[in-house]
A and B are shown apart, each in its own frame.
Chain A
Amino acid sequence: MAKDILVEIGLEELPARFVDDAEYQLLTKTENWLNDSRISYTSIVSFSTPRRLAVLVKDAAEEQTSLEEEMKGPALKIAQDEASNWTKAAIGFTKGHGKTVDDIYTKDVKGTAYIFVKKQITGKPTHELLPQLSEIITSIQFPKNMRWAEQPLRYGRPIRWIVALFGTEVIPFEVAGVQTGNLTYGHRFLGEMVTLSVPANYERTLADQYTIVNPAKRRQMIADELTKTETDQGFQIPEDDELLGEVCNLVEYPTVFVGSFDQSYLALPPEVLITSMKEHQRYFPVKSNNGELLPYFAGVRNGDENGLDTVVRGNEKVLRARLSDAQFFFEEDQKQSIDYYLEKLKRIVFQEKLGTISDKVRRITAITNQLSQWLDLDEQTCSNAARAAEICKFDLPTSMVNEFTNLQGIIGETYALNAGETQAAARAVAEHYLPVQAEGTLPDSIEGAIVSVADKLDTIVGCISAGLVPSGSQDPYGLRRQATGVLKILKTYNWHITVESLLELAEQQYENAESELMDQDKSRSETEQFFRHRMTYLLKESAIEQDVIQAVLYNGIGVIPYMVAKAENLSHERNNPDFKPVQEALVRVLNLARKTDLTEVSQSAFETDSEQQLYEAYWSVTDGYKKATIQQEAAEALRQLGKLSQPIHDFFDHNMVMSDDEVIRNNRLALINQIAYLIYDYADLSAIEWKQHF
Chain B
Amino acid sequence: MTIQEMILTLQKHWSDQNCILMQAYDVEKGAGTMSPMTLLRSLGPEPWNVAYVEPSRRPADGRYGQNPNRLYQHHQFQVIMKPSPDNIQELYLDSLKALGINPLEHDIRFVEDNWENPTLGAAGLGWEVWLDGMEITQFTYFQQIGGLEANPVSVELTYGIERLASYIQDRENVFDLEWTNGVSVNDVFFQPEYEHSKYTFEESDTDMLFQLFTMYENEARTTMEKGLVFPAYDYVLKCSHTFNLLDAKGVISVTERTGYIARIRNLARGISKAYVEERERLGFPMLKKEAE
Q: Which residues of A contact B (CB under 8 A)?
A: 12-13, 15-17, 50, 144, 146-150, 157-158, 160, 188-190, 250-251, 281, 299, 301-303, 306-307, 310-311, 313-315, 317-321, 324-325, 347-349, 352
Contacts and interface: CB of A to CB of B under 8 A. Distances in A.
Candidate in A15, A148, A352 with the most chain B CB atoms within 10 angstroms: A148
A146 B143 contact: yes
A17 B114 CA distance: 13
Given A149-B153, A315-B133, A189 B108 contact: yes
Candidate in B110, B131, B153 with the most chain A CB atoms within 10 angstroms: B110
Contact of B133 (A190, A318, A349): A318
Contact of A317 (B86, B125, B172, B253): B172
A160 B153 contact: no
A12 B134 CA distance: 20
B134 A347 contact: no
7 contacts: A15-B112, A190-B104, A250-B111, A306-B104, A318-B132, A321-B68, A347-B254
B89 A12 contact: yes
A317 B254 contact: no
Given A146-B141, A148-B84, A349-B255, A314 B106 contact: yes
Interface in B234-278: 253-255
Nearest to A14: B112
Nearest to A250: B109
B118 interface: no
Contacts of A13: 109-110, 112, 127
A160 B133 CA distance: 26
B26 interface: no
A187 to B, nearest CB: 10
A147 B141 contact: yes
A12 B129 CA distance: 13
Interface in B144-172: 150-153, 155, 167, 172
B126 to A, nearest CB: 8
B107 interface: yes
A144 B110 contact: no
Contacts of B17: none
Contacts of B253: 347, 349
Contact of B132 (A12, A146, A313): A313
A314 B103 contact: no
B133 A307 contact: no
A387 B112 CA distance: 42
B16 interface: no
B107 A301 contact: yes
A1 to B, nearest CB: 37
B69 A311 contact: no
B106 A146 contact: no
Given A15-B112, A17-B112, A148-B141, A311 B254 contact: no
A157 B143 CA distance: 12
A624 B152 CA distance: 77
Chain B's interface size range is: 35 or more
B207 interface: no
Contact of A146 (B111, B125, B131): B125
B89 A321 contact: no
B6 to A, nearest CB: 17
A486 B8 CA distance: 61
Interface of B: 68-69, 83-86, 89, 93, 102-112, 114, 125, 127, 131-134, 141, 143, 150-153, 155, 167, 172, 253-255
Contact of B105 (A158, A250, A307, A320): A307
Contacts of B125: 144, 146, 157
A311 B112 contact: no
Contacts of A50: 110
B134 A314 contact: yes
Given A310-B132, A317-B172, A149 B84 contact: yes
B107 A321 contact: no
A157 B131 CA distance: 21
Q: Which 10 A-B pairs have the closest CB atoms?
A: A314-B132, A307-B105, A15-B112, A13-B110, A315-B133, A146-B125, A149-B83, A189-B103, A150-B152, A301-B107
A314 B255 contact: no
Contact of A149 (B86, B103, B133): B86
Contacts of A307: 102, 104-106
A652 to B, nearest CB: 66
A303 B104 contact: yes
Contacts of A315: 107, 132-133
A347 B257 CA distance: 11
A160 B110 contact: no
Candidate in B69, B86, B131 with the most chain A CB atoms within 10 angstroms: B86
A313 B166 CA distance: 13
A302 B105 contact: no
A251 to B, nearest CB: 8
Contacts of A16: 112
A148 B255 CA distance: 36
B132 A349 contact: no
Nearest to B143: A146
Nearest to B124: A146
Contacts of B83: 149-150
Contact of A299 (B131, B133, B151, B155): B133
A13 B111 CA distance: 8
Given A149-B84, A317-B172, A318-B132, A310 B89 contact: no
Contact of A12 (B110, B152, B153): B110
B289 to A, nearest CB: 18
